[in-house]
Structure 1
Amino acid sequence: MDFNRSKQTYWKFSPIPNIEESNFNKILERFYNMRVAGLTRENTQNALDGKLIGYDVPVVLTIKTGSVKKSDIPGIDEIIDRVKSLEGRNTYTNETIEHMLNKVNQDEVRYISFEDANTRGLTGAKNGQSGSVQDTWGIYAYNKGVHFVESDSAVETSRGGSHGVGKIASNAASDLHLMYFANCDEHGDQHLGGTVQLIEHIYEGQCYRSTGYFTDIEVIDSTKSKFYPFKNTFHPVFEKKTRGLKIVIPYLREEYDDEVEIIRSVCDSFFVSILAGKLEVKVNDAKITKDTILQHVKNSRYYDQSIKEMKKVFTPLYVDTYINQEPREFAVSDGVKDYKFNLYFRYDEEIPKGRVAIVRTVGMKIEDFKVKSNANKPFNAVLIGGAEEDAYLKSLENESHTELSWDHIKDPVLQKRAKRFINKLSTEFAKVIDEAIQHHNPTDGLLNTDDILYVVETQFKQELSSNLGTVRLTSGNPIVKASGEVPKKKKRKKKEKTGSESTKRDPLKKKKRTPREEEKADMEDGLKTKYSAHPDMVERLILGDREVIKLDFTQSEQRIKNARCNISLAVIDGMGVEYDNEFNITDNYSAVSDLQSGKSYGIVDNAIRDIEIRNGVAELQMKLTDTFNRSLKFVYYVEV
């Protein structure tokens, strides 16, 4: 450790023989990318995790933003000296260090603080770096990637944290990666700690690790030492006089200093906790409680109030759904165990994007869940489970508590169960959505549609025949003819005439349309021409998130000789009107491959290239994106 005792030092860095790691902690960037939402989420969750057990009172979290003099920040000169000693060895670290250096000369520094009440605070501060699982100060202050485990399994299950990396979210919000935490325990003892995340560096001729701790130290012997916290006698911004914990982040990044975004982030992630009376949040002068949350959610200052515009942020819909809908039982299996949830579900034709808020029992939303192949359906839902369901969801959360995932699960058996559970969520939700659609769009009895379908089919074929050409080889020979027989009027027998025959032209008869040639290009193997394909040669099938297309050339009078072809698409409406530029393949298909071989096909200039033809048949498989509209009809252009 840094054992310099000739003068009072507040920050301690562990000495190392050589510099081996030249990058900033990657988790810093992850939380920085989540901005205010990630910071607010982590510190609010920590407050809820520390609630007083056995007391039926809400956790109260006070969030303040303001300014403090640089000279009032404990040990700041030591941090600035360390920052000036940093040496970057790649573009990213150089840019980060330069950004830090641009901030160190401020006399007034912006800060944000998170102070909780009706909470336990950290225990065992007097014991310092004890190593005991009961001393939560030692775990919080000096251990990275570790979180305290409650002795009561029910309490531990309900807690939001599990990965032990959320503490660094506060460092990510500071231009200097700097944060402090003030604690008041059940005995009224007050202490101040802190951490800073730099890079491994050389300071006064000695190499040091990247993480620094705001702490006192007791030297036991030449090889051993022990950290102890400072008693909190510092500036009022850093004091905590009532039981609980207070996070203070100086050098607050400008993009985090946004009161509106802070309030919105609280409502987005914790609307269930607030509505249930488990949490109250004060953001400067604003109060968010179960009685006032609607004043914020229904306020255009914080949220767009037009349902049709709620395409990315869904909190007003979630709140309305949770308050006004009766819960129904919703069961999902992971293949071994059935998990039962309460589902609050709302169907509304005005809702443009369907999402499900998956919420832990602590009242924290994990994610806006997209139901496969139903992301554009008009519904909104909130899903909350019991203790067993909560424990399982907790095991599926990623490190930032923003998504259900199986990627972090190492056990292959548990990972397989997790995959099944998450996929089954979509399957079971899809059933609920389909049921709602059928309920809100009932049929008015039975109707014999045979004659209607015959007339519509005949008219549609006639429209297509007049608008679409057959596919032709460059030689001009037709590949496909229409298989549908359109009824024709009987012709009167013509009388034989002597001499020259004259044919009277019918002015109402439509001139036979020649196939529309789209484009020609000089190719190495000759001239290629693209023609519109007759619908009789195309078969489509949509299964879940995939579409299969089959183009059958075998009905042609002359079999196609080419081994490959290119295909492009154009949208067509029910009247046969074509829209050339309405459909972008890459926006609607995330992958295109051969159905038989699985070979991927490239997409160039909005056309699928070099499609293999086997025995006169080309078969494709497309993976659909969430934006794909399943009701569209297409004209297929084949280039051979």
Structure 2
Amino acid sequence: MNTYWNFPAATGGLINSINNAGLETFRGNALESLTREVCQNSLDAVKDTKSPVIVEFSQFQMNTNDFPEKEELVEVFHKCEATWSGRNKKSEDFIENALNLLGTDKINFLRISDFNTKGLEGARDGEIGSPWSSLVKEAGSSNKGESSGGSFGIGKSAPFLNSNLRTLFYSSNDITGYESYIGVANIMSFEKNENQITLGNGYFTHNEKSLAIPGSFQLDPQFIRKETGTDIYVSAFEPVGDWESEVKKSVLHNFFITIFQKKLVVRINDFEITHENLGQLIHDLESSEENEILKNYFNLLNSDKTIKLKYPAKQYKNGISFEEGEAELLLFKGEDLNRRVLMTRKTGMRLFEQKNISGSISFTGILMITGNHMNNIFKQMENPAHNEWAPERYEKDPKLAKKIYSDLRSYIRKTVNELFQEKITDSMDAVGLSDFLPNKNLLSDSGKNKTESLTSSIKSLVSKKKKEDPLKKTVTKGEQEQEIEEQLKGEFGITPTGDQGGNGTGQHSGGGDAGGGSTETGENNKLDENDSGDQDKKRERKPSKKPVQMQQRYACVDKNDGKYRFMVTPQKSLTSGRLVFKVMGEQSDYDLPIKKAATDNSEVLVEKYTANTIYLQSLKANKSFMLDVEIDYSDYCVMEVELYEN
């Protein structure tokens, strides 16, 4: 059978460079993304649910001359070179590296094979919507069912990012017994013939339709497929560092639940991860915050003290309903736990940690959505990277999705508080409060209640009523309780800025003695030849982006008016500095608007305050000062404050 590389062209079609939107989604960590996406896809294609899916990662090397139709691919890269020369530096660098790799004697491959899976159905005729077509030919599509893990169809891009040729080979033996293989080069458009520009993707095939080549495929001399499943061959696999350790780490952190449930076994060369050695492997991980949290999650799965609760039945409009037990909540209370709940869906893959549940209770938890109806709804809220639920992604009814997600969060918070919250008396001693409060009464108005206080370990959010403003929309108490994030983003003008900010108390790391302003090299600091130069002119110092270490505590003086009192102790003397305030949201932090700021220290000057930042002058190292702050938010909140040098 005649096989060749086919790069389809289309007159007037889209021209693609080496940059690819699907690839950019996974660029942050190529190997982890590869592991997550491949294992999830294999779990979605399980053949016998009573047995585990097996995913195997194996590296091998082959003679470059044995690369399928190598000379044709070399010619393609030369045409790419002619097309993009002087037009796109990134494309030029990629082409140069690809030609160098194809010019060596040996080339490295990574083979990823799965077992107890259905293989790529639809390879025989390439029917649109079939698993084969969805993986190989279609862009941004997925035919997975309600219980599957993926839904966007761009996870298939992750393996390409691990190939220095952006070229993969797929081999399959499906449940009908049909064996086939095909190559896919996800590179860039190039001028094929005069006035003919390719679309950027090419296929190692046997016809102009770019269908799979019938028959078995053997690139790895040590491997022959004897059962149903799929093999992915990543060409020019040149990872930086210890790829086996990276894949192992990704498997342990992302699929420990699935492996614990005996649904997945992973082999990395000669090493195997199963439910039998999972606990020991997690126990042996080096000490780090990330690994300690994983160990706590695993202990939660194993402990006889774990509380397991079924999510109650829910009924919504448009016929959407969840039966009791479509999700299960596992909770465990103990010392020094992360106070978060790990969210997962049917495959058991780690998605994200739900935070802002309780700041006063030390607990950890896992929520597992297992029911088909609930899994389908939350799958449609999920972003392509599978690390966030965003109700606006549910195209049918974003408001309904928002209500569904809000109900789930409320259930988690309520359950944690009901199970673990200790009963408290009307008054209590605030340990450490005397360290930063003056001997005077905390409040200037002696007639007010003085027992209301807050430290950074208290993260209760209490609904508020704001004075009516005829020009602003009034939000009711009930709405605030259900939609805290909408309140933060809407009524108070707080905008999301991602995972930034410091801690409520204690040491702030990241700055240290380095502190200081910074200047940049390059064009920004060149001298102007035409500038005579003023001798009196001082070089402007750019504000530092590195936090300066400090100690700080705060107490709530007047909740309704949003008044707080801070005790701040910088670890470095600053001529000019700034305090940046944020409040923790559900999945990200938000800027916290400052209304007023004043200090009791005559040596420390409040220069100005704008948005969420207070600008200060004359800060002395290890010398504490009091700062009174009024914020545009009258609920209790957890502030994250960082100090920077100007």
- Structure 2 length normalisation: TM-score? 0.66
Residue 388 of structure 2 is matched in structure 1 by: 403
- Counting only pairs closer than 5 Å after superposition, residues 205-216 of structure 1 correspond to structure 2 as 205=194, 206-216=196-206
Matched residue of 1:41: which SS? helix
**1:371–1:430 CA contact under 8 A, matched in 2:** no
Residue 117 of structure 2 is matched in structure 1 by: 119
CA, structure 1 residues 546+63, in 2 after alignment: closer, same or farther (shift >3 Å)? farther
Residue 68 of structure 1 is matched in structure 2 by: 62
> Which residue type is aligned with residue 372 of structure 1?
N
Deviation of 1:348 after TM superposition, in Å, equals: 1.9
CA distance in 2 between counterparts of 1:625 and 1:75 reads 66
Question: 1:621 aligned to 614, 629, 632, which one?
Answer: 632
**2:3–2:204 CA contact under 8 A, matched in 1:** no
Deviations 1:364-412 (A, max 9, x none): 23x222323647963211111322222222222222323222343334x
Deviations 1:426-477 (A, max 9, x none): 33322233345424xx55xx7998xx99xx9999987248xx9xxxxxxxxx
Question: 1:433 aligned to 392, 397, 416, which one?
Answer: 416
- Counting only pairs closer than 5 Å after superposition, residues 139-178 of structure 1 correspond to structure 2 as 139-149=134-144, 156-178=145-167
CA distance in 2 between counterparts of 1:334 and 1:68 reads 58
CA distance in 2 between counterparts of 1:626 and 1:267 reads 34
> Which moved further from structure 2: 74-83 or 234-243?
234-243
Deviations 1:590-621 (A, max 9, x none): 4243779xx972626369xxxxxxxxx99631
**2:356–2:459 CA contact under 8 A, matched in 1:** no
Residue 319 of structure 1 is matched in structure 2 by: 298
CA distance in 2 between counterparts of 1:573 and 1:130 reads 64
- Is residue 329 of structure 2 the alignment partner of residue 343 of structure 1? yes
**1:36–1:256 CA contact under 8 A, matched in 2:** no
CA distance in 1 between counterparts of 2:435 and 2:629 reads 29
CA, structure 1 residues 20+457, in 2 after alignment: closer, same or farther (shift >3 Å)? closer
Residue 309 of structure 2 is matched in structure 1 by: 328
**1:542–1:548 CA contact under 8 A, matched in 2:** no
Deviations 1:222-242 (A, max 9, x none): xxx563425335433585332
CA distance in 1 between counterparts of 2:184 and 2:64 reads 17
Deviations 1:509-555 (A, max 9, x none): xxxxxxxxxxxxxxxxxxxxxxxxxx99x9999973999999xxxxx
**2:57–2:111 CA contact under 8 A, matched in 1:** yes
- Is residue 207 of structure 2 the alignment partner of residue 217 of structure 1? yes
> Which residue type is aligned with residue 408 of structure 1?
R
**1:334–1:421 CA contact under 8 A, matched in 2:** no
Q: What runs of 5+ residues in structure 1 fail to find an aligned partner?
A: 1-6, 150-155, 219-224, 469-480, 486-534, 551-568, 608-616, 633-640
Matched residue of 1:586: which SS? strand
Deviation of 1:629 after TM superposition, in Å, equals: 6.2
Residue 472 of structure 2 is matched in structure 1 by: none
Question: 1:585 aligned to 579, 585, 597, which one?
Answer: 579
CA, structure 1 residues 388+138, in 2 after alignment: closer, same or farther (shift >3 Å)? closer
Residue 27 of structure 1 is matched in structure 2 by: 22
CA distance in 2 between counterparts of 1:9 and 1:458 reads 81
Deviation of 1:51 after TM superposition, in Å, equals: 1.4
- Counting only pairs closer than 5 Å after superposition, residues 44-193 of structure 1 correspond to structure 2 as 44-53=39-48, 56-86=50-80, 87=84, 89-101=87-99, 103-127=101-125, 129-131=126-128, 133=129, 135-149=130-144, 156-193=145-182
Matched residue of 1:380: which SS? strand
CA, structure 1 residues 313+74, in 2 after alignment: closer, same or farther (shift >3 Å)? farther
CA distance in 2 between counterparts of 1:75 and 1:458 reads 77
CA distance in 2 between counterparts of 1:101 and 1:548 reads 67
CA distance in 2 between counterparts of 1:458 and 1:168 reads 57
CA, structure 1 residues 194+355, in 2 after alignment: closer, same or farther (shift >3 Å)? farther
Deviation of 1:13 after TM superposition, in Å, equals: 1.1
> Which residue type is aligned with residue 400 of structure 1?
A
Deviation of 1:628 after TM superposition, in Å, equals: 3.0
Residue 415 of structure 1 is matched in structure 2 by: 398
> Which moved further from structure 2: 84-93 or 28-37?
84-93
Deviation of 1:60 after TM superposition, in Å, equals: 1.6
**1:372–1:545 CA contact under 8 A, matched in 2:** no
Residue 492 of structure 2 is matched in structure 1 by: none
The percentage of counterpart residues that share the same residue type is 21
Residue 244 of structure 1 is matched in structure 2 by: 229
Bigger radius of gyration among the two: 1
CA distance in 1 between counterparts of 2:12 and 2:339 reads 54
Deviations 1:161-211 (A, max 9, x none): 222222111112111211111111345443211211112111354421111
**1:59–1:279 CA contact under 8 A, matched in 2:** yes
Deviation of 1:44 after TM superposition, in Å, equals: 0.9
> Which residue type is aligned with residue 370 of structure 1?
Q
Residue 38 of structure 2 is matched in structure 1 by: 43
Matched residue of 1:167: which SS? helix
Deviation of 1:66 after TM superposition, in Å, equals: 3.0
Deviations 1:468-492 (A, max 9, x none): 9xxxxxxxxxxxx95549xxxxxxx
CA distance in 2 between counterparts of 1:421 and 1:257 reads 42
> Which residue type is aligned with residue 67 of structure 2?
I
CA, structure 1 residues 310+458, in 2 after alignment: closer, same or farther (shift >3 Å)? closer
Residue 201 of structure 1 is matched in structure 2 by: 190
CA distance in 2 between counterparts of 1:460 and 1:400 reads 44
> Which residue type is aligned with residue 173 of structure 2?
C
**1:192–1:229 CA contact under 8 A, matched in 2:** yes
CA distance in 2 between counterparts of 1:458 and 1:318 reads 37
CA distance in 2 between counterparts of 1:299 and 1:457 reads 40
CA distance in 2 between counterparts of 1:226 and 1:331 reads 50
Deviation of 1:96 after TM superposition, in Å, equals: 4.1
CA distance in 2 between counterparts of 1:459 and 1:160 reads 51
**1:182–1:240 CA contact under 8 A, matched in 2:** no
CA, structure 1 residues 570+294, in 2 after alignment: closer, same or farther (shift >3 Å)? closer
CA distance in 2 between counterparts of 1:315 and 1:459 reads 36
Residue 235 of structure 1 is matched in structure 2 by: 219
CA, structure 1 residues 459+272, in 2 after alignment: closer, same or farther (shift >3 Å)? closer
- Is residue 277 of structure 2 the alignment partner of residue 299 of structure 1? no
CA distance in 1 between counterparts of 2:76 and 2:47 reads 39
Residue 496 of structure 1 is matched in structure 2 by: none
Q: What runs of 5+ residues in structure 2 fail to find an aligned partner?
A: 468-549, 556-564, 572-576, 584-589, 597-608, 618-627
CA distance in 2 between counterparts of 1:427 and 1:327 reads 17
Residue 369 of structure 1 is matched in structure 2 by: 353
CA distance in 1 between counterparts of 2:357 and 2:301 reads 24
CA distance in 2 between counterparts of 1:417 and 1:371 reads 22
Residue 461 of structure 2 is matched in structure 1 by: 544
Question: 2:344 aligned to 342, 353, 359, which one?
Answer: 359
CA distance in 1 between counterparts of 2:201 and 2:266 reads 31
CA RMSD of superposed structures (Å): 4.5
Matched residue of 1:217: which SS? coil
CA distance in 2 between counterparts of 1:163 and 1:457 reads 51
CA, structure 1 residues 584+356, in 2 after alignment: closer, same or farther (shift >3 Å)? farther
Matched residue of 1:157: which SS? coil
Deviation of 1:62 after TM superposition, in Å, equals: 1.4
